Amino acid sequence: MAESGHKSAAFPLALAYAALVVYASLYPFSDWRDQGIAPWAFVTAPWPKYWTGFDFGINAAGYVPLGFLGAISILRHRPGMPAALAVARAALAASALSFLMETLQSYLPVRVPSNVDWALNSAGALAGAVLAGLLERIGGVAHWGRLRGTWFVDEARGGLVLLALWPVALLFPAAVSFGLGQIFERLEDSVADWLADTPFIDWLPVRQFELEPLVPAAELLCVFLGALVPCLLAYVVARSLRRRAMLLPLTLLVGIAASALSAMLSWGPQHAWAWFDLPVRVGVVAAALIGAALLPAPRRLCAVLALIAIVVQLGLINGAPESAYFAQTLATWEQGRFIRFNGLAQWLGWLWPFATLGYLIAVLSRDMRQS
């Protein structure tokens, strides 16, 4: 247990990031086979013939957050442990995960295990862990603990994790700005594919209606609700009205910046703000105004309103089809140079609203038991 008396968000963030690393490393999870070589043979393989600076950079940078979060988690849960030991444990754990991923890639014909990748992953993890150790040495970890205690309630860990993951979820292109959780059409197609050529395909219900595109008013409502939900989530974990007033613009600005980065990665830097059209601007302004009006609202009311907003938004966006233009954008991510990053953001974009629903229900249940 950390000295501050509340649970650290670093540990669940480290677990979430490790899960995303596993997904990115083993994607597309198909055609597993024994290729007749030892899974650890890559360790003594020669330097690869073909490599790029992008591949080197992404392999090193991809493990920096894992090493950093791992070391922070150890330091927060074992405050008496020497920083050097925490750094070594976090770096070794991340390196072991990378080694495991490379060995498993030997069973995937579309992936190539590499000792260079393993070394770069380990170096990135070590750099992240060393950064965490330096922060501990200069008092940064303890300062964050005190700062968190001032800003957020003691049981804020789940909410802080969700708030930290929200901008990452926004990086995956969405058919509607801030419209996370559009899974119905893809889930329906995936289930049909899984059940194809089996007797169970006849059990699949036939949809009795065609998905209709969102009208402009419904799209604006989706933008408004998608921008308002993380603000209400921040209200649930913030300690005071003053903290809420500071978190409201910060949350919206982070969401706007993440959406602009997503557009830049999808269509190029010159189109970074193409998504920020009039309906989106109106939706964001409406979220800011309603969020300001709800600043003094009780914590439980904020949780209930966020719960309702998520359900309404999910109903709206899952009742609409993905546009052909949007499908083409996804193909760029899923088959281009974003193929690894795709796995990191796609699942967050799909599951973030449902995880937030679960968290808010847990918060309301706990408050009801305590009242």
pLDDT in tens, 50-72: 666 666 777 788 899 899 999 98
Same domain, 108 and 173: no
Residue 287's closest CA among 257, 255, 242? 255
* Domain stop point among 98, 125, 151: 151
**pLDDT grade, residue 214 (50/70/90)?**
confident
DSSP label of 201: G
Q: What is the domain range of residue 218? A: 165-370
Domain check: are 236 and 137 in the same one? no
CA dist., res. 237 & res. 222, Å (int)? 24
2 part of a folded domain: no
In contact, 266 and 173? CB cutoff 8 Å: yes
pLDDT(296) > 50 = yes
pLDDT score at 216 = 83
Report H helices in 238-323: 241-267, 278-293, 299-317
Domain boundary among 151, 185, 205: 151
Q: Is the pLDDT of residue 288 over 70?
A: yes
Q: Is the pLDDT of residue 34 over 90?
A: no
- Co-location of 21 and 85 in the same domain: yes
Buried (b) or exposed (e) across 243-252, using 16+ Cβ within 10 A? bbeebbeebb
How far apart (Å, rounded) are the C-alpha atoms in residues 106 and 53? 23
Same domain, 197 and 314: yes
171 and 307 together in one domain: yes
In a domain, 311, yes or no: yes
CA–CA separation, 164 and 20 (whole Å):
15
Cβ contacts of residue 10 below 8 Å, gap of 6+? Answer: 69, 72, 73, 76
How far are the Cα atoms of 242, 247, 257, 264 from residue 269, in angstroms, in the given order? 36, 28, 13, 5
Task: Please check whether residues 136 and 184 belong to one and the same domain.
Answer: no
Same domain, 343 and 194: yes
Residue 198 is assigned to a structural domain of this protein:
yes
Q: Is the pLDDT of residue 340 over 60?
A: no
- Predicted pLDDT at 319: 77
In this prediction, residue 264 has a pLDDT band, given cuts at 50, 70 and 90, of confident
pLDDT for the residue 324: 46
**217 assigned to some structural domain:** yes
pLDDT band at 356 (very low <50, low <70, confident <90, very high): very high
Q: Are residues 93 and 225 in the same domain?
A: no
What is the pLDDT, as a whole number, of residue 205? 61
> What's the whole-number mean pLDDT along residues 344-367?
87
Give the pLDDT band (50/70/90) at residue 3.
very low
Residue 76 pLDDT grade (very low, low, confident, very high; cuts 50, 70, 90):
confident
Q: Where are the beta strands (DSSP E) in 12-57?
A: none
Question: What average pLDDT score do residues 4-27 get?
Answer: 76
User: What is the per-residue pLDDT for 123?
Assistant: 93
Report the alpha-carbon distance of residue 178 to residue 172 in Å, rounded: 10
Provide the token pair at 62. Answer: 């991809």
Domain boundary among 151, 174, 207: 151
Structure tokens at 279: 């309906």
Q: Is the pLDDT of residue 234 over 80?
A: yes
Please report whether residue 328 resides in a domain: yes
Q: What is the pLDDT of residue 208?
A: 45
Whether residue 156 lies inside any domain: the answer is: no
The Cα 183–Cα 196 span in angstroms is: 20
CA distance 175 to 189: 18
Q: In this structure, what DSSP letter does residue 2 have? A: -
Identity of residue 267: W
What backbone torsions phi and psi does residue 152 show, to the nearest 5 degrees? -125, 155
Give mean pLDDT, residues 191-204.
64
pLDDT at 268 (0 to 100) = 73
**Residues 47 and 116: beta-carbon distance below 8 Å:** yes
Residues 277 and 361 in one domain: yes
Q: How far apart are CA 196 and CA 352, in angstroms?
A: 29
pLDDT digits (tens, 9 = 90+) for 318-337: 877 665 445 555 555 444 44
Q: Are residues 238 and 362 in the same domain?
A: yes
Show Cβ contacts of residue 319 under 8 Å, excluding neighbours closer than 6 positions.
Answer: 184, 211, 212
Q: Say whether pLDDT at 202 is over 80.
A: no
Our count of domains for the chain comes to 2
